[in-house]
Amino acid sequence: MSIQVNQLTKIYGSQHAVDKVSFEAKEGEILGFLGPNGAGKSTTMKMLTCYVPPTSGTALVCGYDILKNPIEVRQQIGYLPENNPLYLDMFVREYLEFVAHLHKLGKHTQQRVEEMIHTTGLTAEQHKKMGQLSRATDNALGWHKP
């Protein structure tokens, strides 16, 4: 997965939540956002995952423009915020299958579920309910299409 961000900005009234952020993450790279509360980390992620439109600037996720191709972007990227909206009574495998269905993975569903369980180290926890997972475990869950 690659991400290219150029001068991404989000303004709420007179408040610049994100001010001309630019960066690139190439396929295979790991990227983390560090900064104090209010630095724009969550707002940037919300823009990259098409939950909040930018005021200006551009971003591509796997070559798809976040404004022109939001459905394709959402099929490529997963985002689990710190205070996540997980269905706590769903089992890990059940949740992953549910998300795969939302992303319309179709015939790739079981393959991707198995891959994500293995990749995130959830083999032993796959039959636990989401609410039983530790924060470190549930933050490891993410989703992207093959």
Domain range summary for the chain, segments of one domain joined by +: 3-76, 92-140
pTM (predicted TM-score): 0.60
54, pLDDT greater than 80: yes
Q: Pick from 92, 81, 93, 14: which is nearest to 48 by CA? A: 81
Q: Looking at domain 3-76, which CATH architecture does it have?
A: 3-Layer(aba) Sandwich (3.40)
Return the H-helix or E-strand segment holding 1. none
| Stretch 47-64: mean pLDDT | 95
Query: pLDDT digit string (tens) for 13-36?
Result: 999 999 999 999 999 888 888 888
Q: What is the pLDDT of residues 71-117, one digit of tens each?
A: 999 988 876 666 666 677 888 899 889 988 888 888 989 999 999 89
* Separation between Cα atoms, residue 95 and residue 89, nearest integer Å: 9
The pLDDT score that the predictor gives to residue 135 is 58
End-to-end distance of the chain based on CA atoms, in angstroms?
A: 9
Considering only residues 7 and 103, tell me which one the structure prediction assigns the higher pLDDT.
7
- pLDDT category, 143, cuts 50, 70, 90? very low
Distance CA 127, CA 96 (A): 12
Burial of 69 (0-12, 13-18, 19+ CB in 10 A): middle
